[in-house]
Structure 1
Amino acid sequence: MSNSQTQPVVLYVDGACRGNPGLGGWGVYMQYPDGQEQELCGGEPNTTNNRMELTAAIEGIKACAAGQPLVIWTDSNYVKQGITEWIIGWKKKNWRKADGKAVINADLWQQLDQTCQNRTIEWHWIKGHAGHAGNERADMLANRGADQVKNGTGNHQVYQNPVSAHSTSTTPETDPAAPEPDWLSHDPLGLDMVYEQEPDDLYTADEEWVDDVEPKTAVEQHNKEQQLEQANPQNGIQRTPATLKLSGRRQLILDTETTGFSFADGDRVIEVGVIEMINRKLTGSSFHVYINPLRPVGDSVTVHGITDEFLQDKLRFEQIAHELSDYLHGAEIIAHNATFDMNFLEGEFLKAGLPSLKSRVDVTDTLALAKRKHPGQKNSLDALVRRYEIKQRDRTFHGALLDAEILADVYLTMTGGQVTLDIGDDQNSAGGLTQHRQFAGRFSLPVIAASQQEAQHHVQWLDQFGEKNGTPALWRTVFE
């Protein structure tokens, strides 16, 4: 086999839809090992965004030689999660979901599954519309495919365009999926775990991404804003003092709401909710604040329900930074997908001129704990609430303090209601990410042997047991 056949072809695949359902297109941008490039696109007059995302992947794979390794980048978690995880269960259930209903887009999932057979494929997720040249080019092609259908060139046209080998490579300089040990540098945009952060109303009962997500109605939005105003009437920090006076290391269950996925891209924290726990008991102490991000919240409003109008008179982060920093200092932070929250807070504190948060706290990531405890399963906070049968709360919108309260219940249930004793299993990472505490080596357990008299009494008891039951005790040989 030639070297060009052993090196992977890199594909960027994308779908677009104008109406959802409506006019749609798909696009594929391909980079070959020898430097050649190729463009594919097509479309349909009445389709959905998810169908176009799936079609792009199918057409891209079909265009490559059977023995050629492939690396596929998609901005659709629906495609990436579906082909790498959910499809296993769907096939076992004869393309049915857990509720017995047929899998949406089963025809395309079956085509994709068949197209992937006997191939070596690496699937990666990439954030869409974030300036990645390969993804932007695939998006352009998807819209070109939709335009071709709109202009009457056919219902399912495939346009192929070989491009000069001298074009600039668009492979990302850094693989977003590559793990690193430090929680500040590991997956800094939260790309590896961001899917766990998506609102649960984007899923069906079997973790399937729904094509349409209806925006919240004006009435729902108004009700949410009234709730927010009542919760924070003075537009400042809400501090609740502890009702239980306990001694011991403070554990702080924390959650944030933000304007987007990346502090590095300009997104900001808009809400912080923290509740205190000592010796696995909630003390009643809490910290809660809404923050003016000095930028629009954008589409994130559909997740948390916090509008620009509501935040416009709130404090800026630098105005609450010192009080929040003092509250967090020296504690163990417990957060779900801690990488996401801690990177945002680290960026905000540094921007406000405060010392690094990393050096002042330990961090426990409940998502990492859940993935270790339930490998291969969906471990979002909502999924864990259902799995552990935690008391249901209204989560029409995700709120930081509410999610922190829910996470406290999940954490206590997931860790068995008692201190975890994973002897010899220290999971401390170099960056402070802590999953368990190591107790081995801190003390030695004494071994107390039975006295001769105690051993004789036990043998007598075994004799009586045998007489009463008509058969000797199976374990009496230990004492004979």
Structure 2
Amino acid sequence: MAQTITLYVDGACRGNPGLGGWGAYIITESEEHKIFGGEPDTTNNRMELTAAIEGVKFCPTDAKLIIWTDSNYVKQGITEWIHGWKKKNWKDVKNPDLWKLLDATCQGREIEWNWIKGHAGHAGNEMADQLANLGADQTLASMKNLALKADKSSNDKKKDEKDWLLDDPFGFDSMESNVQDESEVLDGMESAHIENENFSTETNNQASTLASVAVPESSTTHPHIVITPRTKQVYGPRQLILDTETTGFYFQDSDRIVEVGAIEMVNRKLTGSSIHIYINPQKPVGDSENIHGISDAFLKDKPVYAEIAEVLFEYLKGAEIIAHNATFDMNFLNMEFKRAGFSRLSEVCEVTDTLAMAKNKHPGQKNSLDALVRRYEIPQRDRTFHGALLDAEILADVYLAMTGGQVAFDMDSLSESEQRDAQNARENLPILELPVIYPSEQELEEHEMWVKQFEEKHGTACLFTK
């Protein structure tokens, strides 16, 4: 019986177009494979396609392939659009060379194509993303190495040219005979760096496409803490919608955090800033893998909590933490920060529990995050596994729905662009000339008569005559 192989494929590009990389994380029934590569001048879509091509080519032709990609361009292209492209003989299709190659590579194979949300905490997708960036890094290192070699060659040619300084009129040669050429030193350092990183690199003279390289488990690097900056400037108190994934339910019984995700909100506006970290718990994840899908193998090269504690604490402190069943998350975070030598997070943050809010708002009903998503008709997302950042995104939608109502009118709550738009709108209002309506003679006489009657009745002058 043919085996089933699962592939996670991803591409990355720094500039689009610019330096790019691709990666494929391949899981067979007995082992895992990680391949990656890159190009010095490419686009994100080309790297997404290359990742799929190389991943499929790596697998036996008789295997059933289940492919996960975070690129709708790839998924819909290979399953839907490609039929029309062929009928039109690939007219006006971008990247036709890669589409034709992918189509040919898939012929005669049993393949199930799936889309997955990128950067949402799915372990397989995160690994493919790391491999794609590793491919870009390797390409950059190779380009630098080639540039240094070219510079060294140029320097060697200059040495061969006849020059009056070669006769050493000032006797400098004897002073510098033991000094290495700078380019040789740099070249040696670059080569040593690449060897230490266990990169196996073969390049042509133009530093074009790198060949795919199978990477042993031990060579993958620690992932960095992923902090995305704000995409909009808003003013007001920070709220952080937060979620954690752990090895179990009991912080007091040595269970540990394996993932933290939080997204920032100010005045009911998501700022675009977030933090996402995978953490080595230094113990087996056990049955909790069935909940969050994060395996021991995936976590073994991730940083331990003490390594990320300072950055995480600085990002979280001073904000209002919003979490579903916040007691659970805060107990674990307080425990982890205490072990790392920090204050309890609850001492430097306010905490809002959306589970308690939901129970007050919907007594006697189910108030799990999934139940609230259905109740408030939040758009569905793939939650085959729980992921900290994905759950934080969902919780943000739920929190806004539960606390729906008037948003502050305060101008300080608006972004800079919104303030400018409002100011421009006020300045551009048309100046209207309001009509002045004067009373007729008859109306004036009737008014004077009414005033006299008022004075006679009340014995005091009417307000209108004062």
TM-score scaled by length of structure 1: 0.40
Larger Rg: 2
TM-score scaled by length of structure 2: 0.42
